[in-house]
A and B are shown apart, each in its own frame.
Chain A
Amino acid sequence: MILHGFFGPTLAPKNLATVLTWIHFRGALVLVLLCAGNFFCLACPFLLLRNAARKLFKPRFSWPRALRNKWISVGLFAGILFCYELFDLWSSPYWTAALALGYFAAVLIVDGLFKHAAFCKFVCPIGQFNFVASTLSPLEVKVRDSRVCEKCATKDCIKGRRAEAEKKSEFVILQRGCELALYLPRKVGNMDCTFCLDCVHACPHDNIGVVGRMPASELMADPLRSGVGYFSRRKDIAALVIVFAFGALVNAFGMVRPVYAVEAWLGRMISTTHEAPVLGIIFAAFLIFAPLVLLGSAARMSRALSGGRSSVGTVAVRYSYTLVPLGLGMWLAHYGFHFFTGILTVVPVTQAALASTGVPILGGPFWTWTGMPTRFVQPIELGFLLLGFMGSLMVAHQFAQEDCAENPLRSFAPWFVVCAIVGAASVWLMFQPMEMRAMLMGG
């Protein structure tokens, strides 16, 4: 795929790098997260390379304490969304392949220097996307019987198993424990879990499995989570959720007609024909200004109405998690659209790629193979948005019940308004005429 990106056709619809990355990978990722769990992290190609490299050299450092949070990955997540728009990554096989290559390099550098899964836990923006979305997944890696853990002496699920090496001071790792620092008996939900199943293999009592659960249940409670802490105290994870939810809106906004009018207007206002500052303003409006206003006002109001004593910031952080279902609904609607309408395009592109290497074993290429017609996909998109909206209302209502048991509607009402605004914005965006073009400043 990377080779085709660099050396194949420059036209994005004919190149495996762009077709697989922007149509199939993204679409399948969100659908698998919705229907199963974080299986894309399990099958992550970047980790294959890292694991192979670790046979040759051992990382020496521990990830700096000050960086043991999500702030770097929040910045990278927003940065990738920004670059996607600025450089029209979807239309460039070369830059798509370069991005994938850059990712491999980043994994090798970070995990080559730092022990455990520092890249997955603290850096990888795709991983963070998966962690947030998988809070809604129906599967999780979990201890089967907590009584077995109480009697367990080895705790291999977190420590792993080692054997002494020839040099007495060193160890050989026989089986890794959880490199994401999730201690299974106290692990709650899917946050930070890459589904690597190291813990499953490590547990000597076969006491860990992939089990079913109610989607979003982990968002509705706020226990102490191993390796994560309390959601309600993690401003960095709340920021990640905000980028996840509002990023879904800005990512879709970049593909619909009104964005060009807004860009042209902003360009005139600040007298520039450069796209970067204009996009910067749009991103700041979506990822900083809108969340601050919406969540800030809702937190203030729900606090006043319910008579709660927590600070506005604390309320805002806690309730920010209600946006996860709405965010996933929007990502599903957007990526699902491209996935379903373009699902067959991989066939002719693969046929052509094979033919260009002199092995046309698949015949063709059948360029007319694309996917489902838009009119069939739109109801599915609407279904995803509705599902997200209902999920967010459920989470917000649960929080409101905990905050104000005698009259939960008082706490709930402002958050209902926030969900309704974000939900309405999503539906409006989905039904805007699409324009798949690069930004033309001044045009």
Chain B
Amino acid sequence: MVSLLVVCASFELSGCARKSAPVRLVAMRCMVEGPERVGRNTITCKLTAEDKIARTDEALPVEGARVTLEGNMTHPGMSPAFGEAKETLPGSYTGTLDLNMRGDWVVTVHVSMQDGARLEQEIKVQNLQAS
């Protein structure tokens, strides 16, 4: 199982001036549900945000994002795999990806949030084996 945490600030831009509200710290925690095997693998992604202006320490789920999945082998020239993760619980996204060959893979999770902000995270899946 591989999990990664990404924290990024999401700004809203208006005209030529940067408005300070809302400023959010978005946390992205993605993982390939283990054990990873050649074939369909389930990838889950949790998106949460903290509003730094309101100074609420409570992490709120980021809802309504579009989450797409992409799997590439580390060797060039191989077929990539594509998939989409659906929101199964507020802020929690699940999808599958067909990693169809033994070896090292990199799963890239692309997130587009409703406010237009984009996030991307790579998950390394090393030494994928057949079940």
Q: Which residues of A contact B (CB under 8 A)?
A: 11-15, 18-19, 22-23, 88, 90-91, 257, 338, 341-342, 345, 367-368, 370-371, 433-438, 440, 443
The reply to whether A433 and B102 contact each other, CB–CB distance below 8 Å, is yes
Mask for B46-82, Cβ within 8 A of A = 1, else 0? 0000000000000000000000001011111111101
A-B contact pairs, 13 of them (CB 8 A): A11-B122, A13-B73, A19-B76, A19-B77, A23-B76, A91-B104, A341-B77, A371-B77, A434-B102, A436-B73, A436-B102, A437-B74, A437-B127
CA distance A342 to B101 in the complex (A): 15
Does chain A have a CB within 8 A of B126? yes
The reply to whether A22 and B76 contact each other, CB–CB distance below 8 Å, is yes
A370 — nearest CB in chain B belongs to which residue? Answer: B79
CB distance from B69 to the nearest CB of A (A): 12
The reply to whether A90 and B70 contact each other, CB–CB distance below 8 Å, is no
CA distance A12 to B126 in the complex (A): 15
Please report whether the interface of chain B is mostly helix, strand, loop or mixed according to DSSP: strand
The reply to whether B76 and A440 contact each other, CB–CB distance below 8 Å, is no
Taking a contact as CB atoms closer than 8 A, the residue among B77, B108, B126 that contacts A342 in the complex is B77
Q: Which residues of B contact A (CB under 8 A)?
A: 70, 72-80, 82, 101-104, 106, 108, 122, 126-128
The reply to whether B76 and A437 contact each other, CB–CB distance below 8 Å, is no
The reply to whether B103 and A338 contact each other, CB–CB distance below 8 Å, is no
List, in ascending order, chain A residues with CB within 8 A of B70's CB: 367
Taking a contact as CB atoms closer than 8 A, the residue among A257, A342, A367, A434 that contacts B76 in the complex is A342
From A88, A436, A440, residue with most partner B Cβ within 10 Å: A436
List, in ascending order, chain A residues with CB within 8 A of B126's CB: 437-438, 440
The reply to whether B82 and A91 contact each other, CB–CB distance below 8 Å, is no
**Contact (A22, B102) CB under 8 Å given A11-B72, A437-B127:** no
A91 — nearest CB in chain B belongs to which residue? Answer: B74
A27 — nearest CB in chain B belongs to which residue? Answer: B77
CB distance from A8 to the nearest CB of B (A): 12
CA distance A11 to B101 in the complex (A): 17
CB distance from A350 to the nearest CB of B (A): 13
The reply to whether A437 and B104 contact each other, CB–CB distance below 8 Å, is yes
**Contact (A345, B103) CB under 8 Å given A367-B82, A437-B126, A440-B126:** no
The reply to whether A437 and B72 contact each other, CB–CB distance below 8 Å, is no
